[in-house]
Structure 1
Amino acid sequence: MRLYPFLGLTMLTIIFTALFFPFPYMNTPIDSIALLLFFIVSVLLNAYPIRLKETYVSLVPLVHLFIFLQYGFLIELMVSQISLFLFILFSQYQWKIKHFFFHCLIFWMSLMSALSYYVVEAMFPYTLIGDIPLIPIVAYIATSFFTNHVILNWTLWIRRLPLSTFTWEELRWNVVTHCLAIPISALLIVVYEYGFGLFGALVITIPILIIAYIFKLVNDVEEANQQLKTIHELTSSFTSELNLEKNLDALVQAIQDIQTYDMCYIYRLNEKRQQLDPIRIDVRDTFHRRYATSETLSSDAGIASQVIQKTKPIIINRETELYLAKGRPNINVPIKSLMAVPLKTKEEVVGVIFLAKLKENGFSKKDVTLLEIMAHHAATSIHNAYIYQQTERRALKDELTGLFNYRGFEQRLEKAIEHAQQFEYPLALLILDIDYFKEVNDQFGHLTGNKVITHIATLIQSHVRQEEDVVARYGGEEFTILLPHTSQDTAYGIADRLRVAIQSAPVSVTDDLHSGKEVLIRNTVSIGVAVYPLHADDALSLVRHADRAMYVGAKQRGRNRVAVYEQNEGGTSA
């Protein structure tokens, strides 16, 4: 249905021109077979522009000038409009309002070029070389060239889009093709009019088509070689890296090198939770990262989940297909085409690569094949890097509480000290010890002791800033809390509130060693406070002074209290 307005526009343009712009025609009778030939050539030249690096060169002007000279403005307009319409109809371009402007651009280019030709021909009626009006032809070509650039930028400006910018390479080739139109059109007229007819026209046009097609084949080969090179580089980078972020960076960069997109999500399969979690997001400016959410695996799953279940890629190129597809993407953005391929190791599917575009017909089967090759090479490396990362993280975490362990705390402390030194802000350290914890273990057993530790760890986490502060299980029944941007008075206040919260929140446990009944255990803690740079100028001194404040200032003075380190006395109760 979307094609009807543009088909109507094409026909109305031709009818309107025939009624209101009765330009003079050449005296040559119309040869329908020859005209059909040039029409086919025009369609093919639209389909196969010459690509030189990133520059596309169209050979269409070479034929359209001959059609204008031979058959007049109306025929040239019909050929240009209908050939362009058929090219877009059977290509993978999406019909949008931009094609309306493009049709208008072609019409005005033909109109202005024809006007300039007839005006100059009237002004210089005797500037013929043989039977070829050279100066009017030059006027036609010059007008076509400038109208192309001026009207294109004007339509972009009307639509408030960025103006087209042409490199010197693009501009040079545009000039070359327009200039070549003059001798080639003249040659076509000579061979067509003087004895050779249709055969002569074929002798000229077929080499042009062959050249265009050869350039297309060469460009396809170069593009394939570049894609293979990209995949080889990607594979090489994976073999030497166990860093998940670097592997994901390399994969996204490789995808960008061979494929354009508006959205790229890389999901990892979380088998424990039976869901897909986004581990890398690359989106254009029109999107927001908040649109990426985990996707649950289920019978009515989204597109990415279907890829996991079927272990096969999915490609959708039409908005209607996407609307009707079972399990639309779990993404709240107006995408119109997508492809998703599984990340498969030899043994299992570990994730999904999901690409999407705002336009229809955004992906081809060749794109899917290339992405599958990339995914095959990437899957094992990304999976191994993820496992390595999780192993590294577990090595820094306490298995019982999920907090940082001693090793993890030391790493975070060193970084925190460096950052505090660089930006000159206070860094407070609290060391907390559970009072009489040995008696809890002796009376109720170590399982109960573990429950008390996890209970207090949860209370500590609820009293600190989740994104900024660092909580660790320092050892046994001791915890440490790093508080960046925190002065001595503020740190003391936080510590005392935490002490009161722990004292006020008993933990319910089962007396497994004796009665087997539920009992409430009330806990108290002793807390030592030291602040960088007030009390220490390095990480080791900060820990030593906070620990001394806890033992000397809190433990030895009755427990269940907060003590701040003091330089002269070692540690005193605050």
Structure 2
Amino acid sequence: MSKKKQLVIWLIWLVVFPTSIFYVYTTFEPTYTGEWADLISFALIMCAVSYFPIQVGTISIFVANGISFAAFLYFGLFAEIILTQLAILTLIYKLRISKDETFRIASNSLMMLITSIGSAAVYYWLGGEHGVLELNTTTESIALVGYIVTGLILNQILLVILNIFFYEQKHMKIGKSLLADIFLTLIVFPLGLVLYLLYIDLKIAAIYFVGIPFILLSIAISLYYNGRRVNHYLRRTSDIGQELSKKLNVKNVLDSFVDEVCKLLPASFIYIYDVSNASQTLTLIRFVKDQQTVKHPEEVMAINSGFIGKVHGQKKAIMFNTRAQLDQFTQNSLPDDVQSVLGVPIIRNEQVVGVLVIGDRSRRAYQDYHLMLMKILANFLSVAIENARHYEQERRKSLHDQLTNLYNYRYLTDHIEQYALDLQAKEIDENLSIIIIDLDSFKSVNDTYGHEAGNEVLVDLARRLEDFISDRGIVARYGGEEFTILVKGMKHEEIYGLAEEIRYLISSKPFVLMKHIEDGQPVAIPITASLGVATYPDHCDSPNELIRQADRAMYVGAKRSGKNKVASIV
């Protein structure tokens, strides 16, 4: 809510509340001679009940209105207003609102004041009275029902007004809060009526005789709703864990994780740090601000620094709900407006491999169950990241040549096949070319200098080809001493010229052998290659035939014609 709207609420309260209190007091002129102890007892019971509110979604509901109902019937409107206002202050204290939310004192006070006066007005209009009542006439029964129903309706109307005009919620859903209000009304108002009837006979003893069960009822219902809420979160957490396990790369795991955390609990900021035990540092790998993943600053910190270092060092989760707790760390890396924070270690094989930090701008944003949920999710995240990394490693191994780290034959053929399907689906023709490179007399290199020296040549050639081709194509190891280059969108004449440049790149600079079997200094040897070139659709009807055509060109046109040549299918 904007500061301007908060100020409006306080101004309305400053005008309406004192004026209404003065009007009610002077109009009804209440006298409580000899009954102050009873009123204090009513206040104590109402405050105790209000200390255990029932949370339904974002709405806090408390059952103190049953007790205030009994006080209203006996003592009148002024006493009921004062008792209700004390209960509201107790509730707000229990919720521990931040400085930015102090307007809720005024808004809730106004809501309860209007509800009290409106309900009482209907009660009086229908002929209701105060004091010792028989409650056995139609008039009294109608007045009681009018009081209860009016309070129920006014409460919902005021909630809608507050949410639409001040919180700007265009589609206010009142279903849950209305059902909860009706349910509680059916419970607490009969109990309030019982309290009133017993108070007539037993006086102050009745307040505690009925009031203590009220407190226990409020606690029980509060625990019930808290249990339901925690169970809901646990089920949601389990679902998140299952979703994370389906992600096959680390980026998707992190993206999914932060998205779900933002839905699960208040999170103005989310930080995920990766731990490097070798360098004893923490590196920020994911940063979320106001539910948006943003490019994070290059942040590397010592493994024992600040709040994050404390989480890492203790290997246990930490929760702070005030800025003062966080400010004890000189290096906490969190924005100045963060008031509440959760820090959770990400542990694998009993080692801390990461740190998850969640911060919110509200004070007391987190409860113990939030910390429990994040510990569970941190475990899911650790397993999901490990699985994703393992999958990526295995996939890389299956698609890359171990010696040169180039793509392998399997990747190349799968890529060409997929490309052919895409062209067919789009019903378009696009040039696709293959260059096959076969090193000349490579067996003699292995025989003369050893296989390790031969591997050096292959690795050196792989780097030369990658640097030369760059992003113009895909370099792959075809097998043995053969390499392939896949190029899209170039004319055959251009590809042929590119192949000539590659032939010269290989033959013009000797290859230096460091691991040869001969004793002495490094040896530089000349290497040449024969190359075959084919282009789709110039030389074949399908991209799948490219490798065969280029291979044929290389053997027939280059190898058999003296080697160190480029050949093409005519």
TM-score calculated relative to the size of structure 2: 0.73
Matching residue within 513, 533, 540 for 1:535: 540
State how far apart, in whole Å, the 2-side matches of 1:388 and 1:314 are. 32
Q: Tell me the residue number matched to 2:206.
A: 200
State how far apart, in whole Å, the 1-side matches of 2:484 and 2:335 are. 42
- Indicate the larger mover: 49-58 or 247-256: 247-256
| Deviation of the 1:29 alpha carbon | 0.8
| Deviation of the 1:531 alpha carbon | 3.1
- Indicate the larger mover: 208-217 or 511-520: 511-520
Cα 1:216–1:437 shift into 2, 3 Å: farther
State how far apart, in whole Å, the 2-side matches of 1:39 and 1:311 are. 46
Cα 1:393–1:181 shift into 2, 3 Å: same
State how far apart, in whole Å, the 1-side matches of 2:340 and 2:547 are. 57
State how far apart, in whole Å, the 1-side matches of 2:92 and 2:402 are. 61
State how far apart, in whole Å, the 2-side matches of 1:15 and 1:253 are. 48
Cα 1:412–1:271 shift into 2, 3 Å: farther
Q: Tell me the residue number matched to 1:156.
A: 163
Q: Deviations over 1:44-66 (max 9, x none)?
A: 43343446899975323222333
State how far apart, in whole Å, the 2-side matches of 1:44 and 1:9 are. 30
| Deviation of the 1:448 alpha carbon | 5.4
State how far apart, in whole Å, the 2-side matches of 1:437 and 1:332 are. 65
State how far apart, in whole Å, the 1-side matches of 2:233 and 2:291 are. 27
State how far apart, in whole Å, the 1-side matches of 2:68 and 2:496 are. 84
Q: Is the 8 A contact 2:304 2:312 kept in 1?
A: no
User: Alignment partner of 1:327: what SS?
Assistant: coil
User: Alignment partner of 2:294: what SS?
Assistant: helix
Q: Tell me the residue number matched to 1:352.
A: 355
Q: Tell me the residue number matched to 1:452.
A: 460
Cα 1:498–1:303 shift into 2, 3 Å: farther
Matching residue within 84, 96, 101 for 1:80: 84
State how far apart, in whole Å, the 1-side matches of 2:115 and 2:183 are. 18
User: Alignment partner of 2:203: what SS?
Assistant: helix
Q: Tell me the residue number matched to 1:406.
A: 409
Q: Is the 8 A contact 2:510 2:526 kept in 1?
A: yes
State how far apart, in whole Å, the 2-side matches of 1:339 and 1:548 are. 65
Q: Tell me the residue number matched to 1:18.
A: 21
State how far apart, in whole Å, the 2-side matches of 1:40 and 1:494 are. 90
| Deviation of the 1:184 alpha carbon | 4.0
Matching residue within 47, 63, 88 for 2:67: 63
Indicate the percent of aligned positions where both proteins have the same amino acid. 20
Q: Tell me the residue number matched to 1:103.
A: 105
Q: Is the 8 A contact 2:440 2:527 kept in 1?
A: no
State how far apart, in whole Å, the 1-side matches of 2:252 and 2:237 are. 13
State how far apart, in whole Å, the 1-side matches of 2:284 and 2:299 are. 9
State how far apart, in whole Å, the 1-side matches of 2:180 and 2:31 are. 32
Q: Tell me the residue number matched to 1:568.
A: none
Q: Tell me the residue number matched to 1:567.
A: none
Cα 1:417–1:88 shift into 2, 3 Å: farther
Cα 1:318–1:439 shift into 2, 3 Å: same
State how far apart, in whole Å, the 2-side matches of 1:86 and 1:361 are. 16
User: Alignment partner of 2:400: what SS?
Assistant: coil
Cα 1:455–1:169 shift into 2, 3 Å: closer
Cα 1:269–1:26 shift into 2, 3 Å: same
| Deviation of the 1:120 alpha carbon | 4.0
Q: Is the 8 A contact 2:55 2:222 kept in 1?
A: yes
Structure 1 unaligned regions, length at least 5: 565-570
Q: Deviations over 1:85-109 (max 9, x none)?
A: 3333343554434x51x33433333
Q: Deviations over 1:146-194 (max 9, x none)?
A: 33333333333334533464364542332343465654444333322x2
- Whose RCO is larger (CA < 8 A, sep 6+)? 2
Q: Is the 8 A contact 1:496 1:561 kept in 2?
A: no
Cα 1:232–1:548 shift into 2, 3 Å: same
Cα 1:507–1:533 shift into 2, 3 Å: closer
Instruction: State the AA in 1 paired with 2:39.
Output: L
Q: Tell me the residue number matched to 1:430.
A: 434
Instruction: State the AA in 2 paired with 1:130.
Output: E
| Deviation of the 1:197 alpha carbon | 0.7
Q: Count residues with an aligned counterpart.
A: 547
Cα 1:45–1:417 shift into 2, 3 Å: farther
State how far apart, in whole Å, the 1-side matches of 2:374 and 2:128 are. 62
State how far apart, in whole Å, the 1-side matches of 2:258 and 2:275 are. 22
Q: Is the 8 A contact 1:127 1:135 kept in 2?
A: no
Write the mapping of 1:241-320 to structure 2, written as runs, cut at 5 A: 252=257, 260-262=265-267, 268-270=274-276, 286-292=290-296, 296-298=300-302, 301=305, 303-304=307-308, 306-320=310-324
Cα-Cα RMSD: 5.2
State how far apart, in whole Å, the 2-side matches of 1:393 and 1:497 are. 28
State how far apart, in whole Å, the 2-side matches of 1:563 and 1:160 are. 74
Cα 1:130–1:428 shift into 2, 3 Å: same
Write the mapping of 1:71-150 to structure 2, written as runs, cut at 5 A: 71-91=75-95, 93-97=97-101, 99-100=102-103, 102-117=104-119, 119-120=121-122, 123-125=125-127, 130=134, 135=142, 137-150=144-157
Cα 1:471–1:303 shift into 2, 3 Å: farther
Cα 1:187–1:160 shift into 2, 3 Å: closer
- Indicate the larger mover: 403-412 or 19-28: 19-28
Structure 2 unaligned regions, length at least 5: 1-6
Q: Is the 8 A contact 1:420 1:427 kept in 2?
A: no
State how far apart, in whole Å, the 2-side matches of 1:180 and 1:366 are. 29
* Residues 1:215 and 2:221 aligned together: yes
Q: Is the 8 A contact 1:275 1:295 kept in 2?
A: no
- Indicate the larger mover: 197-206 or 422-431: 422-431
TM-score calculated relative to the size of structure 1: 0.73
Cα 1:156–1:228 shift into 2, 3 Å: closer
State how far apart, in whole Å, the 2-side matches of 1:300 and 1:316 are. 18
